[in-house]
Amino acid sequence: MINIAIRKVLNDYVAFIDCFKHQFSPEMEEFEQRSRRNRSGHIGGFNYQFHGAGCRLEKDGIVCEFDFMPTNEYPIKFSLWGMKEFILTNKGYGIDKLEESELHEVLYPLVEDGTLVKLVLGGVVWEVYQI
């Protein structure tokens, strides 16, 4: 079992994305329009690349993957793989190895308490977390 303060990691993850979004475009509607036109680039220390419904951010060696579609009341969506990349590339956490099953285990209580919500599309519950 990994020893990680998952709520702090989640807060760091959201803050990382919010910092980028604020620099790219603080308004969500404008953000979505700009992300269709400016598929990749550099802004405020971030390298970004939009792909499909997702975005890959890199800053100071930290990699952050997130999805922002389909649009619903949860603006940030991520997979276990995306969160794993964020943790492993953030040297401040001191984690060199992480299994997705371990990450699922520490995220599950956050789903149970409503901090995170699983994505449901067409009646199917996906392994995508929303916040």
Q: Could you read off the pLDDT of 83-96 as tens digits, one per residue?
A: 999 999 999 999 99
In a domain, 84, yes or no: yes
Report if residue 90 sits inside a domain. Answer: yes
Find where tokens 């789903």 sit: 111
26: containing domain? 6-130
The pLDDT of residue 30 is above 60: yes
CB neighbour list of residue 108: distance below 8 Å, 6 or more residues apart: none
On whether residue 41 sits in a domain, the answer given is yes
CA dihedral 113, 117, 120, 126 (to 10 degrees): -100
Instruction: Measure the CA–CA gap between 1 and 81, rounded to whole angstroms.
Output: 17
Domain-located, residue 1: no
Mean pLDDT, to the nearest integer, of 93-107? 93
pLDDT band per the 50, 70, 90 thresholds, residue 79: very high
In total, how many domains does the chain have?
A: 1
pTM, full prediction: 0.88
